[in-house]
Amino acid sequence: MSLMFLAETVRAYRERDPAARSNLEVLLCYPGLHAVGIHVVANACWRHGWHTLGRFVSHIGRFLTGIEIHPGAKLGRRFLVDHGMGVVIGETAEIGDDVFIYHQVTLGGTSSAGGKRHPTIGNNVIIGAGAKVLGAIEIGEGARIGANAVVVAPVAPETTVVGIPARPVERGAGKPRFDAYGTPCDPCLDPLFHELELLRGELTALEARLAAEAARQTGV
């Protein structure tokens, strides 16, 4: 890990985590930073064809941090993992710049075949705690994945998704640049509730039409 890479990652932690009180605290006490640093070594081994050594280095990182990053995964700059315990990132996962994920996140595959089988995460994405992003799907730039969401389909840029399976929700005007845990705290419309309300409206309109028709026939 180069000094510039390290410095900008530490700075990103300081900017995004109010609990980070000093650079030294981030360097010593943030397992996400340690996991990424170990991955740099594991990935270098992997790219040079030393696959078993790369897996072993990755395994040491998992043992020390609780964060499992396959040495074949591609990580962008200023990639932050908050808390981190239980994070799993698969072999063909690709992560852009300025991505922020929380603990218990899985970037997993849905196929036992070779080739691309893990997600591609765009720049400036936030993935909330417990979320599962599965398959060779693309998460667009600036997207937000809510806590505990299960994402099995592509997510458009600047879209927030929540639920199982994940569905888009409205992001209010003037939304903050950073949504903690990927979950909007401003009032937003749950997609399932919205669908139920649409059905309720259609049912009410149908009942009114039937009542009007019955009244017309009675009047005749």
Residues 46 and 136 in one domain: yes
Residues 115 and 211 in one domain: no
- pLDDT value of position 122: 95
Please state the separation of Cα 54 from the chain's center in Å: 25
Q: Give 206's pLDDT tier (boundaries 50, 70, 90).
A: confident
Question: How deeply is 138 buried, as exposed, middle or buried, from its count of CB atoms within 10 A (0-12, 13-18, 19+)?
Answer: middle
pTM of the predicted protein model: 0.78
Mean pLDDT within 107-133: 92
Q: Give 177's pLDDT tier (boundaries 50, 70, 90).
A: low
**How many Å apart are CA 154 and CA 175, to the nearest integer?**
22
Q: What is the pLDDT of residues 59-105, one digit of tens each?
A: 999 999 999 999 999 999 999 999 889 999 999 999 999 999 999 99
**How many Å apart are CA 207 and CA 203, to the nearest integer?**
6
CB atoms within 10 A of CB 178: 12
Q: Give 169's pLDDT tier (boundaries 50, 70, 90).
A: confident
Instruction: Report the CATH number that the domain containing residue 167 is assigned in CATH.
Output: 2.160.10.10
Tell me what the pLDDT averaged over the chain comes to: 86
Residues 15 and 82 in one domain: yes
SS3 call for 203 = helix
Q: Give 52's pLDDT tier (boundaries 50, 70, 90).
A: very high
Residues 61 and 98 in one domain: yes
Higher confidence at residue 3 or residue 150?
150
- pLDDT value of position 180: 63
What's the domain range around 41? 3-189
DSSP 3-53: HHHHHHHHHHHHHH-TT---HHHHHHH-HHHHHHHHHHHHHHHHHTT-HHH
- pLDDT value of position 6: 84
**How many Å apart are CA 161 and CA 115, to the nearest integer?**
27
| Total count of domains within the chain | 2
Residues 157 and 171 in one domain: yes
Q: What is the pLDDT of residues 10-19, one digit of tens each?
A: 998 988 888 8
Joined together, the tokens standing for residue 36 give: 């990424």
- pLDDT value of position 212: 80
Residues 125 and 51 in one domain: yes
Question: Amino acid identity, residue 11?
Answer: R
